[in-house]
């Protein structure tokens, strides 16, 4: 039945064209943003998950920055400790050999003391210089915190508060010098510390030889303590390095996960765009034909 009041064909064509235009707009938005879920209205569940994961990734980025700062701090302290430990030509190792040499009968201990003094000054200078971002564990002052927390990780489980992983560093384990003279090198034992021992006035007497033995034992103990501190920092360095690589890999994994949830498949979208453009053109043509069908009714009244 032909009707002047209701053009069912045109209404169907218009509804189809409206649907095609809506799908075309959605596809164009996906192509322009590169995302199939750009807002909560696209897919509330996926958008919520992606938003939370992006927040987690921002926290992981902060952890990565913190690990870099921690690595630099630990490396500075480690380098200074190994320098203080020294070798046959410097540091505690050289100091020990000089004290052993001073046991020789008739040797000029004043000249040996000149070398010892230089080593003592060099070790103290090294400890004072081991500062990064205002942090120095080797030469502690009255205001140096007893512990430092190095941030290493971030994790969040649904329904639980976020968890921040840290490495706690106890300053006293690495302090060579302290404000209260309680460090590895300035702790007084037998009337002197490694930092203040002096052999210039010693002679070949049995008493002085015993004193020299005490100094040698004191330096040997200090070598063991410094070596232990350096080994501990070396282990922390390795842990920080491992965590740094893990955090970076984890951030990449989170990015890939977010992409799987919200990124548009550009190959599929480009194919869909071409199909929708053809459908739109056909829809316009179908609507035009439907609108012109009523014109044929006029011919009946001519």
Per-residue tens of pLDDT for the chain, all 302 residues = 566 666 777 788 888 888 888 888 888 888 888 888 888 888 899 999 999 999 999 999 999 999 999 999 999 999 999 999 999 999 999 999 999 999 999 999 999 999 999 999 999 999 999 999 999 999 999 899 999 999 998 888 877 888 899 999 999 999 999 999 899 999 998 889 999 999 999 999 999 999 999 999 999 999 999 999 999 999 999 999 999 999 999 999 999 999 999 988 888 888 988 998 888 888 888 878 777 766 676 666 66
Per-residue tokens: 110: 């004043």
Give CA–CA dist 76/138, Å, rounded: 10
Q: What pTM was computed for the model?
A: 0.80
Structure tokens at 39: 């807002």
263: helix, strand or coil: strand
Residue-wise pLDDT tens digits, 61-103: 999 999 999 999 999 999 999 999 999 999 999 999 999 999 9
Predicted confidence at residue 30, as pLDDT, reads 85
Helix, strand and coil percent figures for the chain, each rounded to 5 = 65, 10, 25
pLDDT score recorded for residue 300:
66
Q: How far apart are CA 154 and CA 119, in angstroms?
A: 44
Alpha-helix residue ranges (DSSP H) falling in 86-173: 91-101, 109-129
Using the 8-state DSSP alphabet, how is residue 173 labeled?
G
User: From the CA atom positions of the chain, what is the Rg in Å?
Assistant: 39
Q: Is the dihedral of CA 279, 285, 291, 296 positive or negative?
A: negative
- How many whole angstroms separate alpha carbon 26 and alpha carbon 42? 9
Close Cβ partners of 240 (under 8 Å, ≥ 6 residues apart): 67, 70, 71, 74, 150, 152, 167
Residue 257 CB-density burial (10 A; 0-12 exposed, 13-18 middle, 19+ buried): middle
User: Are the C-beta atoms of 255 and 103 separated by less than 8 Å?
Assistant: no
Cβ atoms 195, 124 nearer than 8 A: yes
Per CATH, the number for 42-262 is: 1.20.1330.10
Instruction: Let me know: does 235 contact 217? Beta carbons within 8 Å.
Output: no
Q: Which residues pair with 148 in a beta bridge?
A: 169
Altogether, the residues listed in the chain come to a count of: 302
Torsional class of 105: left (φ above 0), alpha (ψ -120 to 50), beta (otherwise) = beta
pLDDT in tens, 261-282: 998 888 888 898 899 888 888 8
Give the angle 291-294-298 at the CA atoms, nearest 5°: 145
């Amino acid at each position: 039945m032909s009707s002047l009041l209701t053009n069912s064909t045109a209404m169907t064509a218009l509804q189809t064209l409206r649907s095609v235009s809506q799908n075309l707009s959605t596809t164009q938005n996906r192509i322009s943003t590169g995302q199939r879920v750009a807002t909560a209205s696209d897919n509330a569940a996926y958008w919520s998950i992606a938003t939370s994961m992006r927040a987690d990734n921002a926290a992981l980025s902060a952890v990565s920055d913190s690990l870099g700062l921690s690595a630099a701090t630990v490396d500075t302290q480690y380098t200074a400790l190994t320098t203080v430990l020294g070798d046959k030509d410097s540091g505690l190792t050289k100091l020990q050999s000089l004290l052993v040499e001073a046991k020789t009968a008739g040797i000029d201990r004043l000249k040996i003391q000149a070398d010892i003094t230089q080593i003592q000054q060099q070790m103290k200078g090294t400890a004072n210089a081991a500062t990064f971002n205002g942090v120095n564990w080797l030469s502690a002052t009255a205001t140096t915190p007893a512990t430092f927390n190095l941030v290493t990780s971030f994790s969040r489980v649904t329904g639980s508060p976020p968890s921040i992983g840290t490495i706690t560093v106890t300053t006293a384990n690495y302090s060579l010098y302290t404000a209260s003279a309680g460090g590895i090198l300035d702790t007084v034992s037998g009337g002197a510390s490694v930092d203040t021992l002096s052999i210039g006035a010693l002679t070949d007497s049995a008493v002085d030889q015993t004193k020299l033995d005490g100094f040698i034992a004191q330096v040997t103990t200090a070598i063991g303590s410094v070596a232990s501190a350096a080994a501990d920092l070396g282990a922390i360095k390795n842990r920080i390095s491992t965590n740094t690589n893990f955090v970076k890999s984890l951030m990449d994994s989170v990015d890939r996960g977010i992409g799987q949830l919200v990124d548009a498949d550009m190959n599929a979208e480009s194919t869909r765009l071409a199909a929708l453009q053809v459908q739109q053109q056909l829809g316009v043509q179908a609507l035009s034909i439907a609108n012109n069908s009523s014109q044929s009714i006029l011919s009946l009244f001519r």
